[in-house]
Structure 1
Amino acid sequence: GTGPCRAGAVCRYPAPVYITENGTCDNTDSFRCRYLYDHLKALTECGVKAERYYHWCFCDNFEWMEGFSARFGLVHTDYDTQKRTVKKSGKFYAEVIRAGGVTQELYDAYVANEHYHIR
């Protein structure tokens, strides 16, 4: 996450920061919107000048430790047909980009009713 890097980043690095990889495995896409919202909001609130943010990853792919079983993507990949389908989290992230950041409206539409499901 972005928590450990935030504390000293504003003072230590006044220049714009690029977040080059931030994401989470969410095989059911049930909490990725909340994850994205929480991290992007935290960056905004603490004053980090994040000029670029790259989510890991754009579409489901092969992960070295988990193979094809871990789904990190904003776009679902059907490995049998190679068909790609934008997930709810992908639609949320597209809206965040359009809005220029997270908003209360996006929270209400995508995040408010999301809950972490730990098994």
Structure 2
Amino acid sequence: MPNRTEELDRLVDKIINSPHGTEASKTLEEIENNQSYILNVQLKKLVRLHDDSFKNKCVSPVTYMLEKYTPYMGHTEALQKEAELVDRDLRIIEMTYQLIKKNRNSK
């Protein structure tokens, strides 16, 4: 007489290797197929959608600004030098005006 453990192992093996589908095996197969579909199709679509959304909201505006304002980047140094020259010229004019005014008052 087989003992209970052997009989239980035989029954489990019969259920696992059964050629007939049970509700549980059909549900498990459906879950596996859904998981495969989710990983191979839906997840790839979601990643692509996220990438497109990120690109449109973040990358494209930054690229546009970079392309738009890069030509002006070199001009900032020249603009700074021009401002310094204008400032120097204004100081010279102010000093000259003050000297003229001082000489005129002293006469």
When normalised by structure 1's length, the TM-score is: 0.17
* Larger fraction in strand: 1
Q: Which has the higher helix share?
A: 2
Mark the structure with the bigger radius of gyration.
Answer: 2
